């Protein structure tokens, strides 16, 4: 059973790595670079502001740590056929789950270490706190994450629903209690208490895995749900077989589409506009990048920091919209349109011009609010709008010709 999990894990990881090169492409890497840089700058400024409120710091850190505990799911990699072909091996399923548990523990543990380390500067604003003094917090959080994954193991067995709810509630109550105890009073005592809890919970989990009845349907349902969320995220960047972007009517945009396509005899203008509004692939990307840019600009007061963020956001939005040109290449009806191919390029160019101008206007409003100095505000707004027009009418046609 242990060998079976390793075989499935190898196959699953190869499949994921094949998609990750499309997720972490050059443009995403550039965006992540800006996000990391912006986070470091704003985090430093935030620490200076909140350092005068020690109680608020501890409450904030407590909420962040509780959120970090929820990251990470048990990856069992079970399949639909297992409930038939592996049924004779059900007594050995605990060995399979132990391998799954060890693998599933890696990413959450890394996240916990990262979150506690990033929380360090906040806690070190207290003069009595030292960097070494953060180690009890780290061990406490790792202990709770260990129990959280074991709780997911227990959920895969046929247990009364009330027992499962009670175990979940107790875990979170204990986590809140000891995190609060450690932050407000004594971290060493909180660490000892959490380790005692883990030992007790581990004993109960081993008993269930040894004596319980495995719920194949629940395990398959949980694993399918976990993988679906991963593939839905990857599907935002590239096509994943079996995962289709959700399409919604969104009739409230009919008026806007009518204004954009009014008196325009190019059918591609309507086709691209309607496709953008109804689908999630490009509209979701547009909204996400715009929101990230707005959040970063909201904290950027300097023109030399705000303007590059705004221009990079406009460029990334425009670049990510260009693949929309090939969205209908395999549709027979578009091949029957009695219009030249040049109309397709012009149609996409017009739709992109409207979208980029809309994004530029929204970012310009944020820039006008956040940037210091009237002259700097005017320069930032003018540069953002001008860049969106240059991108739409000069850069996009060149890219489409390639």
At 397, the pLDDT band (50, 70, 90 cuts) reads confident
In total, the chain counts a number of residues equal to: 402
Q: Considering only CA atoms, which of 334, 230, 320 is closest in space to residue 282?
A: 320
At 278, the pLDDT band (50, 70, 90 cuts) reads confident
Q: Considering only CA atoms, which of 328, 321, 320 is closest in space to residue 344?
A: 328
User: Could you count the other beta carbons within 10 Å of the beta carbon of residue 3?
Assistant: 10
In this prediction, residues 71-92 reach a mean pLDDT of 88
pLDDT tens-digit readout, 156-168: 999 999 999 999 9
Q: Can you say whether residue 374 is alpha, beta or left, with left for phi > 0 and alpha for psi between -120 and 50 degrees?
A: alpha
- What 54-60 contacts at long range (C-beta under 8 Å, 24+ apart), as own/partner pairs, is 54/125, 54/126, 57/122, 57/123, 57/125, 57/126, 58/123, 58/183, 58/184, 60/122
Lowest mean pLDDT among 37-41, 149-153, 312-316, 345-349: 37-41
Q: What pLDDT sits at residue 346? A: 85
Output the six-digit token pair for 330.
């395999």
Contact between 370 and 298 (Cβ < 8 Å): yes
Domains in the chain: boundaries = 2-234, 251-401
Greatest pairwise CA separation for the chain in angstroms: 77
Q: State the DSSP code for 131.
A: S
In 3-state terms, what secondary structure has residue 159? coil
CA–CA dist 257, 269 (Å, integer)? 9
**C-alpha count within 13 angstroms, C-beta hemisphere, residue 146:** 17
What is the average pLDDT score of the chain?
A: 85
pTM confidence score: 0.72
User: What are the b/e assignments for 306-319, b being 16+ CB within 10 Å?
Assistant: bbebbbbbbbbbbe
CA–CA dist 63, 172 (Å, integer)? 12
Of residues 104 and 254, more confidence is placed in 104
Output the six-digit token pair for 116.
């506690």
Contact between 362 and 294 (Cβ < 8 Å): yes
């Amino acid at each position: 059973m242990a060998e079976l999990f390793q075989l499935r894990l190898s196959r699953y990881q190869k499949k994921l790595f094949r998609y990750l090169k499309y997720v972490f492409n050059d443009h995403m890497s550039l965006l992540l670079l800006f996000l990391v840089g912006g986070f470091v700058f704003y985090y430093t400024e935030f620490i200076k502001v909140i350092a005068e409120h020690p109680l608020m710091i501890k409450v904030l850190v407590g909420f962040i740590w509780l959120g970090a505990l929820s990251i990470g799911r048990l990856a069992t990699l079970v399949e639909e056929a297992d409930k038939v072909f592996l049924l004779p091996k059900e007594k050995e399923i605990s060995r399979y789950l132990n391998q799954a548990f060890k693998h599933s523990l890696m990413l959450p543990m890394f996240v916990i270490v990262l979150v506690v380390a990033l929380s360090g500067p906040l806690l070190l604003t207290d003069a009595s706190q030292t960097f070494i003094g953060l180690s009890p917090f780290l061990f406490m959080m790792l202990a709770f994450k260990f129990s959280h994954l074991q709780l997911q193991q227990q959920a895969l067995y046929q247990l009364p629903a009330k027992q499962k709810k009670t175990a979940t509630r107790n875990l979170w109550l204990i986590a809140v209690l000891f995190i609060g105890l450690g932050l407000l009073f004594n971290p060493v005592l909180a660490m000892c208490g959490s380790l005692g809890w883990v030992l007790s919970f581990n004993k109960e989990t081993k008993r269930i895995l040894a004596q319980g009845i495995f719920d194949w349907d629940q395990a398959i349902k949980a694993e399918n749900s976990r993988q679906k969320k991963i593939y839905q995220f990857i599907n935002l960047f590239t096509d994943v077989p079996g995962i289709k972007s959700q399409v919604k009517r969104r009739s409230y945009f009919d008026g806007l589409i009518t204004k954009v396509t009014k008196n325009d005899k190019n059918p591609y203008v309507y086709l691209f506009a309607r496709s953008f509004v109804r689908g999630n692939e490009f509209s979701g990307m547009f909204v996400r990048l715009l929101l990230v840019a707005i959040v970063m600009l909201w904290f950027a007061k300097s023109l030399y920091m705000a303007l590059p963020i705004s221009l990079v956001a406009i460029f990334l939005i425009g670049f990510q919209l260009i693949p929309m040109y090939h969205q209908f290449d395999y549709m027979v009806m578009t091949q029957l349109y009695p219009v030249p191919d040049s109309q397709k390029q012009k149609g996409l160019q017009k739709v992109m011009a409207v979208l980029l101008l809309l994004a530029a206007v929204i970012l310009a409003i944020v820039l006008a609010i956040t940037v210091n100095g009237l002259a700097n505000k005017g320069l930032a707004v003018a540069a953002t709008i001008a860049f969106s027009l240059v991108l739409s009418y000069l850069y996009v046609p060149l890219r489409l010709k390639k």
